[in-house]
Structure 1
Amino acid sequence: MRTSIATVCLSGGLVEKLHACAAAGFDGVEIMDADLVGAYESPEEIRELCRRLGLTVEMFQPFRDVEGVDDATFAQSLRRAEAKFEVMERVGADLLLVCSNVATATVDDDAVAAAQLGALADAAAAHGIRIAYEALAWGRYVDDYRRAWRIVEQADRPNLGVCLDSFHILSRGHDPSGIEEIPGDRIFFLQLADAPELDMDLLSWSRHHRLFPGEGAFDLTGFLSHVLRAGYAGPLSLEVFNDTFRQTDVTRTAAHARRSLTWLADRTAHARGWDDGRLGDAQEARRIDFVEVGGADLRELDELLDQLGFSFRGRHRSKAVRLWAAGDARVILNEEVRDATPVLTAFGLGVDDARAAADRAAALGAPKVFRRTYAGERELPAVAAPDGTQVYWDDVAAAASWAGEFEGGGPAAPLVASVDHINVAYAWQDFDEAVLFMSSVAALHTDSTAEVPGPHGLVRSQVMRSLDGVVRVPMNLAPPTAPLPTRHVAFRVDDVVAVARAARARGLRFLPVPGNYYDDLAARFDPDPGWLETLRGLDLLYDRDEAGEFVHFYTHTFGGVFLEVVERRAGYEGYGAANAPVRLSAQRELDRRG
């Protein structure tokens, strides 16, 4: 699989972009005309830099507004083209992207378009250049790849073919199966982009909201399958216009982009039973082995876990690390982390084959995490998520694996709990990369989404989960100017009222819930008055849907983390989204009071 990326996908100057593309492992690049125009380096210097970096210049783009015009306008287009052909020869490109006309077209006639594209191809042939004609989704007359191919076929020039772009095809809802009717050697280039489902004009959707494969709603696996079955043998190239990616670190974004192509090739190979491009099988998460909170001083969290009913299970034999447990819920407090503020630093996933999970992560370019281990201690493979959170894998139950390294603890707690979900938060510039990481590396699947109003604006939540729902990771995206939402871990119990009463008797301070919330709860659900008073008296929150009920409470925030205890009744699968604004407001009020 050869890979390529358009320089328009990345921030910075052309030289920076080329270095980042090479570092990420791309084989080639599409050089955007505007990037070259804005570079101080000559085309010859760019060509030599690409050679030294091991990059091929796969295509030069774009050339616009050629076909479907009067003779005078077309003559001007040929003059423009000759100038670009000379630049392409200097920069080492032999393929030019020509977009369907959106501005100057006045003649809706395939024969005219074919004649003019044929003449352009003849002029290009004198320079050893090929032309890839692309139907833009908002083209004046040509907005369908099937019509673009008919025009190319009618023009009948060996150096004239089509460029297929997943966005232009899938955004219009066109059936991509017709791609298989195009001879593979006439598909000169393939551009890939994902996108979310949005109801907006195509140009704005394309210019601002494209995503890398695996981050949006397009069926790129099916799309790529049609292209490959047609016999296409060129590179898989990314063309992603996105305001975020044009502002983020160029090296990191290039690595993110390269991971998306590896993911797409793997998904397509698995779906079609192909060997080429296939990684090892994704390791489905079977359980959450542990969650880890790191910080310089975590004694307050020791007290909190004790009040919740967890038992102290010992100190690590060689590290400044403590273990608390209740049933299957295990919390590691790591004071080797030097940050003064407590923060969620890691979590462990139980899988069938930990080494296979780590090998797949390495193939996807996830950075490996190293932690010191001594003789007799279990070494767990791990990688870092985009925000630095560490993800560990183990294929042996904790009791027979790493848990035995903790010494001096007390007996198991009567409390039976499990980790219900791990709620993480990302800044706007990291969110899409994190979604791709969780799906490609952690092998989780996208689930429900929600938008929750908070004191600083709408917080978007995307849930990632295992197929059986045992592992759930809601991911929150804060508004661009808002502070990052605090992360938290939710523990599931069978009787949250009993846990709350016992915790309060031990002195636990809950997050206080405003009285107005319970007045609204009475109006919405008309609960039994005694039940409502139980909720009010314990600062419990409540939600209900057609499948079941959800009862939960929150602790105070400790640095950058807080805890939640939940009870799911019957088939309730949500996260109490209706209660999130109350929680956010209560936390903000406590912060305001200091």
Structure 2
Amino acid sequence: MRTGIATVCLSGTLKEKMQACAIAGFDGIEIFEPDLVTSPLPPEDVRKMAADLGLTLDLYQPFRDFDSVSGDLLTANLRRAEAKFKLMARLGMDTILVCSNVATASIDSDDLRAEQLGQLAALAGDHGVKVAYEALAWGKYVSDYEHAHKLVEAVDHPNLGTCLDSFHILSRNWDTAPIEAFSPDKIFFVQVADAPKLSMDVLSWSRHYRVFPGEGQFDLAKFMGHVVRAGYSGPVSLEIFNDVFRQSDVERTAVDAMRSLIWLEEQSAKWLDAASDAGTGTGAAGTPAPGRRRYPMELATLPQVAEPAGYNFAEVRAADTQGLETVLGQLGFEFNGRHRTKDVQLWSMGHARVIINEAAPADGDGATGDASPAIAALGFDVASPVIAAARAQQLKAPAVPRKSQANEEVFQGFAAPDSTEIFLCQGTSDGTAAWTSEFGEGLENPTAGPTAVIDHVNLAQPWQHFDEAVLFYTSALALEPQPFAEVPSPTGLVRSQVMATGDRAVRLVLNLAPLNQQRKTYQEHIAFAVDDLVATARDCRARGLEFLQIPANYYEDLDARFGLAPDFLATLQELNLLYDRDADGEFLHFYTATVGSVFFEMVERCGAYDGYGAPNAPVRHAVQYDHLQHR
């Protein structure tokens, strides 16, 4: 699949955008006209630079408000078009995007539109240019891609075809199956964009909330499957209008964009295989659609991996570890000793393992960064760490080297968008980890804690990388995004996105950190699941644990909502426990005080409860905020 991206997707100058696209590995680019108009580079220099970078210049866009106009406007539009065709010759480009009219259209006549598009196609033919006509979702008279295609067919000129844009099609809930009947010779260009499903006018939705494939809720694999079945073999190009992307680091955004197309290519191949096995769909000639490998566009796949089997460990980094050691001990974790070659400690409770890394973090320049406690790494049990790491690398995840000596476990690792290090560990049927033998003797008489596992980890995400993180964990770790929630807090609404495996062995919660707080200063936590939370809480209290203090108003509200038994309600209030219930079960949990930017949660899931106590989150946010204000 030939990959492309429109320069409108990225921040920076045209030169910076082109360099970033080349670094990310794109085959070609669309030049968004304002990027060229504002550039000091002459068209000839842009053409040479693209060639030097190994980029093709695939599409010049957009040319607006051409059709459905009166005679005098048509004359002006043809003059404007010819000027652009001459400019394209200097750039070495041969395809222009023409959008259906949204502003100056005054005549609703398909016959007139076909006549005017025919004149444009003839003029384009004189200059060796192809016109890709696109139905904008908010077009005045042409807003449906099938309508646009019918006009193209009516004109029947070799220099006029259609552009299929997934946003304009899927935002209007148009059926994509008819694409298969299009002649591939008449599909001049394909643009893809994802988006969250929002209730708002489609123009504002398009201009501000598009995201890269895999970061929204559109069924892009199905859309692409129909495009491939139609016989299209040209570029598949990203056209994303997003306020955040245009403020973010250009190279990083370009890499995220490329990752999204790699993921989409794989998902489309899977859709085609499934549809082929089911015997559904028809090709351009109306015959049964064969398997994907018989089509002109070949879709590459990645090394296949199963979803993680569970958490292997969580790592917290801190220069001063005393606070962490105290809290873990009070929770009932056992100290299992120090690593024989590294400045790290191992603490465990059942199969829940926490590593305390005493090395201070380094910032981007290699200097020592903030040394307060923060979640630094997560380990996941996978069937084949080497294959899973190869998949992540092909998805452009930056590798994280881990120095190992003889007889030490070699971890495959890579960095997540928020800088958390992800390590892939060899899973075992009994939940043990061979690498724990690398740690020396722990306490001679450790306090026996309850059996526990890591239930979930909550990570704060920088505002400019939240969507990137969703795609990253979806594509690299096979986690599935769940419906997101917004939780009130004293600093505003906190967007919360759960990523999970199908069996919920791994639950990862991504929170969008407030704009005024950097990721590693915003509170994050690790939650451990136990069988008896009340007994665990009593033991923790006896060991001197500082619980997050829950206000009495919460328990009055709890009683009003659930009508709990008085003795049980009194126990909850006595121990600062929180409670939730739904049709599937019950949920009990408590929080510790925060150390640095990290706190811990203990939970008990009863029945088939699958949530996280979301109604209690505003209480937690408010109490933590109050503590922070009074430090």
TM-score (norm 2): 0.93
Task: Give the AA of the match of 2:537.
Answer: A
- Rate the CA distance shift 1:490–1:584 in 2: closer, same or farther, 3 A: same
Classify the secondary structure of the residue corresponding to 1:407.
coil
1:55 positional shift:
0.4
The match for 1:281 among 304, 329, 341 is 304
In the alignment, is residue 560 of structure 1 matched against residue 560 of structure 2?
Answer: no
1:180 positional shift:
0.6
Counterpart-to-counterpart distance in 2, 1:305 and 1:35: 54
1:481 positional shift:
4.1
Counterpart-to-counterpart distance in 2, 1:449 and 1:40: 43
Classify the secondary structure of the residue corresponding to 2:606.
strand
Counterpart-to-counterpart distance in 2, 1:324 and 1:52: 54
CA offsets 1:236-288 (integer angstroms, 9 cap, x no match): 10000011101101110000000000000011112322563111113311010
CA offsets 1:8-28 (integer angstroms, 9 cap, x no match): 000111001000000000010
CA contact (8 A) 2:312 2:433 kept: no
- Paired residue for 1:129? 129
In the alignment, is residue 227 of structure 1 matched against residue 227 of structure 2?
Answer: yes
- Within 5 Å, which residues of 2 pair with 1:188-267? 188-267=188-267
Task: Give the AA of the match of 1:58.
Answer: D
CA offsets 1:305-344 (integer angstroms, 9 cap, x no match): 1111111112101001010111110000011234411000
The match for 1:331 among 348, 354, 358 is 354
Task: Give the AA of the match of 1:393.
Answer: L
In the alignment, is residue 315 of structure 1 matched against residue 341 of structure 2?
Answer: no
Task: Give the AA of the match of 2:551.
Answer: P
Counterpart-to-counterpart distance in 1, 2:416 and 2:513: 18
Classify the secondary structure of the residue corresponding to 2:215.
coil
CA contact (8 A) 1:283 1:356 kept: no
Counterpart-to-counterpart distance in 2, 1:124 and 1:386: 44
- Within 5 Å, which residues of 2 pair with 1:485-500? 485-500=522-537
In the alignment, is residue 457 of structure 1 matched against residue 492 of structure 2?
Answer: yes
Deviates more, 1:457-466 or 1:270-279: 270-279
Counterpart-to-counterpart distance in 2, 1:401 and 1:383: 21
1:105 positional shift:
1.3
Counterpart-to-counterpart distance in 1, 2:59 and 2:115: 23
- Within 5 Å, which residues of 2 pair with 1:401-440? 401-410=434-443, 413-440=448-475
- Rate the CA distance shift 1:575–1:479 in 2: closer, same or farther, 3 A: same
CA contact (8 A) 2:416 2:472 kept: yes
In the alignment, is residue 448 of structure 1 matched against residue 483 of structure 2?
Answer: yes
CA offsets 1:514-551 (integer angstroms, 9 cap, x no match): 11111111111111111111111111111111111111
Counterpart-to-counterpart distance in 2, 1:317 and 1:389: 24
In the alignment, is residue 358 of structure 1 matched against residue 389 of structure 2?
Answer: yes
CA contact (8 A) 1:456 1:482 kept: no
Counterpart-to-counterpart distance in 1, 2:481 and 2:49: 40
Counterpart-to-counterpart distance in 2, 1:396 and 1:147: 54
Counterpart-to-counterpart distance in 1, 2:218 and 2:536: 44
The match for 2:606 among 569, 574, 577 is 569
Gaps of 5+ in 1: none
Counterpart-to-counterpart distance in 1, 2:483 and 2:97: 39
- Paired residue for 1:164? 164
Counterpart-to-counterpart distance in 2, 1:64 and 1:270: 36
In the alignment, is residue 181 of structure 1 matched against residue 181 of structure 2?
Answer: yes
CA offsets 1:335-390 (integer angstroms, 9 cap, x no match): 12344110000111111111110000011000000111111111110110001001
CA offsets 1:186-228 (integer angstroms, 9 cap, x no match): 1000000001010111100000000100011100000000000
Task: Give the AA of the match of 2:372.
Answer: T
- Within 5 Å, which residues of 2 pair with 1:55-204? 55-204=55-204
CA offsets 1:529-588 (integer angstroms, 9 cap, x no match): 111111111111111111111111100100011000001111111101111111111111
Counterpart-to-counterpart distance in 1, 2:518 and 2:630: 17
Aligned residue pairs: how many?
594
- Rate the CA distance shift 1:35–1:184 in 2: closer, same or farther, 3 A: same
Classify the secondary structure of the residue corresponding to 2:247.
coil
Gaps of 5+ in 2: 274-291, 294-298, 362-369
CA contact (8 A) 1:418 1:492 kept: yes
Counterpart-to-counterpart distance in 2, 1:264 and 1:250: 21
- Paired residue for 2:554? 517
Task: Give the AA of the match of 2:582.
Answer: D
1:414 positional shift:
4.1
Counterpart-to-counterpart distance in 2, 1:203 and 1:308: 52
CA contact (8 A) 2:351 2:432 kept: no
- Paired residue for 2:282? none
- Paired residue for 1:372? 403
Counterpart-to-counterpart distance in 2, 1:130 and 1:153: 15
Classify the secondary structure of the residue corresponding to 2:57.
strand
CA contact (8 A) 1:458 1:478 kept: no
Identity between Structure 1 and Structure 2 (%): 54
Counterpart-to-counterpart distance in 2, 1:539 and 1:567: 14
- Paired residue for 2:509? 474
1:480 positional shift:
3.1
1:304 positional shift:
1.1
Counterpart-to-counterpart distance in 2, 1:182 and 1:284: 38
Deviates more, 1:103-112 or 1:285-294: 103-112
Cα RMSD over matched residues?
A: 1.2
CA offsets 1:468-514 (integer angstroms, 9 cap, x no match): 00100011113434665411000000011111100110111111111
Task: Give the AA of the match of 2:175.
Answer: D
CA offsets 1:383-436 (integer angstroms, 9 cap, x no match): 100010011111243745211111112477442000000001112211000101
1:448 positional shift:
3.2
CA contact (8 A) 2:418 2:462 kept: no
CA offsets 1:79-128 (integer angstroms, 9 cap, x no match): 10111111111111110000001111122111211111111111111111
